[in-house]
């Protein structure tokens, strides 16, 4: 939206004149009062202009408007309405029309502008959702008051946040339906598209409080790895996040559907970097059997430290052992790592940790050829989905005192996942109508 230079100049001149009067009256004495004064003034101006623009548009509809039945609806009277906007509550009067032919009653201005009287405007709704996915709803309410100088309830923020999550749920349901429709997939095959040369996926899970219990929030991320412009170091880019509190089989449908959207099934190279959870590798093998499977390097290393801490009392020997075995792991010498871990299963203190390591490495040794992976230029860390679990589960759903309903936890998590996704996806989702 671009305002004319003339309009901006005239509006600015009027504002400067009003501020000048306040300075003369010593109501504005410093930069803080100047800035806050301008914020209040612009909010009031926006509030009044908003309402007047709607009323002007309403009057332009005239005495009669077309009715869907083919007849004409006639203006009956005007009624007051309010909508909560970034400028606060905006009051306006709009015309009420009735059709004598079919009896239909309507407010054309509300229909034309997508207004739901008594509700939140689309722009404010998006901002409240952003606040709600970032912090607890009560803290979000305080932040909105400071930022926008308007009062909203924490329940309103909760509603807008979870409304966005419900939109994401509906989008994902449609993706799942499409991805399982053979006709849709055939049409997709014929469409020109850019197939990724190398695409990564990562999955993980984290426990979150739901009611009096804990449930696993499963998360997945799709991403590409390439250097940023002008930089040598590679970084995960084009990241998309998705999550659900669901059984593995149900989550698999989401994995496949979102993968289809990212052309994972057509990528020249598809690489999954994940931890060793059995449900993760089962889903990957089922839906993407040709993908390269890599156990996250940092997860693999974590199994060595408990052995070193229980098997060696001296710090220097502990560090020497860790350095040696970690180097074997780095070189992909997994059989050698397994053999040395087995030796400590006979030590009372180290036996349990050693057995866990042996089981883990044995079950995943085909996914641990790290020397080969590095040579191919593959990433061997699942930091993006680890970040998703921390940013969605830990940073938002597991905050102190949080107890969620199942639907509230899912909706909030999905809204936050959409917010964390790279690009303009969140803004697009915010503009998407909710199917009722």
Tokens standing for residue 326 = 């970690």
Q: Is the pLDDT of residue 82 over 60?
A: yes
423 touches 434 (CB < 8 A): no
pLDDT attached to residue 208: 94
Q: Work out the average pLDDT over 117-143.
A: 96
Q: How many helices (H) and strands (E) does the chain have?
A: 18, 9
Average pLDDT, the chain: 93
How far is Cα 334 from Cα 417, in angstroms, rounded to an integer? 36
pLDDT attached to residue 390: 80
CA distances from 394 to 25, 80, 158, 207 (A): 51, 45, 18, 9
Beta-carbon count within 10 A of 296 CB: 23
Q: Work out the average pLDDT over 14-42.
A: 92
Q: Is the pLDDT of residue 383 over 70?
A: no
Q: What percent of the chain has pLDDT over 90?
A: 86
Tokens standing for residue 359 = 């089981």
Q: Where are the alpha helices (DSSP H) in 228-275?
A: 248-261
Beta-carbon count within 10 A of 271 CB: 20
Where residue 230 falls among pLDDT bands split at 50, 70, 90?
A: low
Where residue 4 falls among pLDDT bands split at 50, 70, 90?
A: very high
Where residue 127 falls among pLDDT bands split at 50, 70, 90?
A: very high
Where residue 435 falls among pLDDT bands split at 50, 70, 90?
A: confident
Beta-carbon count within 10 A of 413 CB: 28
Nearest to 402 by CA among 414, 393, 389: 393
Q: Work out the average pLDDT over 99-123.
A: 93
pLDDT in tens, 302-360: 999 999 999 999 999 999 999 999 999 999 999 999 999 999 998 989 999 999 999 99
Nearest to 291 by CA among 313, 273, 316: 273
Q: Work out the average pLDDT over 289-295.
A: 97
Where residue 388 falls among pLDDT bands split at 50, 70, 90?
A: low
Where residue 384 falls among pLDDT bands split at 50, 70, 90?
A: low
pLDDT attached to residue 391: 80
The C-alpha angle 406, 276, 195, rounded to 5 degrees, equals 85
pLDDT attached to residue 190: 87
């Amino acid at each position: 939206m671009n305002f004319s230079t003339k309009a901006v100049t005239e509006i600015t001149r009027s504002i400067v004149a009003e501020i000048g009067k306040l300075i003369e009256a010593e109501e504005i004495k410093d930069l803080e009062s100047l800035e806050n004064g301008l914020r209040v003034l612009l909010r009031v101006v926006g509030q009044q202009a908003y309402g007047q623009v709607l009323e002007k548009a309403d009057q332009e509809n005239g005495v009669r408007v077309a009715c869907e039945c083919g007849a004409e609806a006639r203006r009956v009277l005007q009624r007051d309405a309010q909508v909560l906007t970034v400028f606060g509550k905006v009051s306006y009067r709009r015309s009420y029309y009735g059709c004598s032919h079919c009896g239909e009653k309507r407010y054309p201005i509300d229909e034309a502008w997508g207004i739901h009287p008594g509700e939140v405007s689309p722009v404010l709704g998006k901002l409240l959702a952003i606040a709600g996915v970032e912090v607890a709803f009560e803290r979000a309410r305080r932040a909105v008051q400071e930022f926008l100088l308007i009062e909203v309830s924490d329940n309103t923020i909760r509603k807008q946040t979870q409304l966005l999550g419900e939109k994401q749920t509906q989008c994902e349901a449609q993706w799942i339906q499409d991805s399982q429709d053979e006709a849709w997939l055939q049409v997709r095959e014929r469409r020109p598209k850019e197939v990724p040369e190398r695409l990564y996926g990562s999955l993980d899970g984290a426990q979150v409080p739901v009611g009096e219990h804990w449930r696993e929030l499963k998360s997945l991320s799709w991403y590409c790895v390439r250097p940023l412009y002008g930089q040598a170091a590679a970084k995960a880019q084009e990241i998309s996040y998705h999550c659900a509190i669901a059984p593995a089989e149900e989550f698999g449908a989401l994995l496949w559907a979102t993968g289809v959207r990212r052309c994972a099934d057509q990528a020249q190279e598809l690489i999954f970097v994940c931890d060793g959870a059995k449900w993760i590798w089962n889903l990957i093998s089922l839906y993407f059997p040709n993908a390269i499977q890599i156990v996250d390097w940092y997860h693999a290393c974590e199994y060595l430290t408990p052995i070193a801490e229980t098997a060696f009392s001296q710090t220097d020997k502990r560090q020497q052992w860790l350095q040696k075995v970690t180097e074997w792991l780095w070189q992909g010498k997994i059989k050698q790592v397994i053999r040395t871990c087995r030796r400590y299963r006979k030590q009372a203190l180290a036996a349990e940790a050693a057995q866990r390591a042996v089981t883990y490495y044995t079950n995943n040794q085909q996914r641990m050829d790290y020397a080969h992976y590095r040579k191919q230029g593959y990433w061997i860390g699942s930091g993006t989905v680890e970040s998703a679990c921390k940013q969605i589960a830990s940073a938002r759903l597991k905050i102190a005192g949080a107890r969620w309903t199942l639907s509230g936890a899912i909706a909030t998590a999905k809204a936050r996942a959409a917010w964390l996704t790279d690009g303009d996806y969140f803004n697009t989702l915010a503009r998407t109508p909710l199917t009722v």
